[in-house]
Structure 1
């Protein structure tokens, strides 16, 4: 009888852990930014989530060369291409379709912000902020199908 209860408990815990991991991975894939100027590929490294610019509407500058991270505050990084740039880093899934404790980099301004992401179906709410999340801006990204 005790063995049966133990096995049932272990199975229930395994199901909950599996369901949680599947929910966490729902964010994986390509997302179109609010402006439609870029697609961000969200992927996983270990247990954390990251995102890189997989496509940009205008990939080259006026001279025909690939756009670079010219606004980066670190001079040594200004020559790296924007396409393929990792702009979302270190997000942790905390349940309830929320991803926290990460940062988002804006190559247009060269600034990095604390960020929280909330998944609502095929819409990803991106909340970038400085300090506390009450002071920030939210954008809705849509899933690329």
Structure 2
């Protein structure tokens, strides 16, 4: 009887630890928030490959300026491709449990690619995403969905 009583708290603790670990993971769906207007712009899904590389793809545009927009200002393989479904984060690697770097992020409305880094904040409920050119960086805070 005593063994069974101990198994319940241990199982509960393991469950709590495992769910906490997934909350502090960059993978998942994120609502992007425009840093200038404060308005939600899109939903980005971040995934991690078996080699540990993180990528992010726009799965939904919220209130697009025109139906089915394409990246007409892009200069790489994404030129004239639909923005919905587009991979905007490429090559990101984990530095530690909450910080990621070494990748790039595309701003589709400008067609520009920036060096990028990400940081999980507020216990993994938000993701600070920065794009940099030289020493000038801009950041947005995305909200986990």
> Fold conserved (TM > 0.5)?
yes
**Is the contact made by 2:131 and 2:137 (CA closer than 8 Å) also made in structure 1?**
yes
| Displacement of 1:60 | 7.2
CA contact (8 A) 2:31 2:144 kept: yes
Write out the 4+ residue segments of structure 1 that deviate beyond 4 Å after TM superposition.
22-25
In structure 1, the residue matched to 2:73 is 71
Aligned pairs for 1:1-145 within 5 A: 26-35=25-34, 36-46=40-50, 47-59=52-64, 61=66, 64=67, 66-74=68-76, 77-120=78-121, 121=123, 122-132=125-135, 135-144=136-145
TM-score where L is the length of structure 2: 0.73
Moved more, 76-85 or 111-120: 76-85
Unaligned runs of 5+ in 1: 1-18
Go from structure 1 to structure 2 and tell me whether the alpha carbon gap of 1:40 and 1:77 turns closer, same or farther (over 3 Å shift).
closer
CA pair 71-112 structure 1, distance change in 2 beyond 3 A:
same
1:70 CA displacement: 1.0
Measured after TM superposition, the shift of residue 50 of structure 1 is 0.3
Contact map agreement 1:32 1:143 (CA 8 A) in 2 = yes
Note the alpha carbon deviations across 1:47-100, whole angstroms, 9 max, x for none: 110000011013572xx5x211111124x7432111000000111101141001
Superposed CA offset, 1:5-32 (max 9, x none): xxxxxxxxxxxxxx9xx57971110001
Report the aligned-residue RMSD. Answer: 2.2
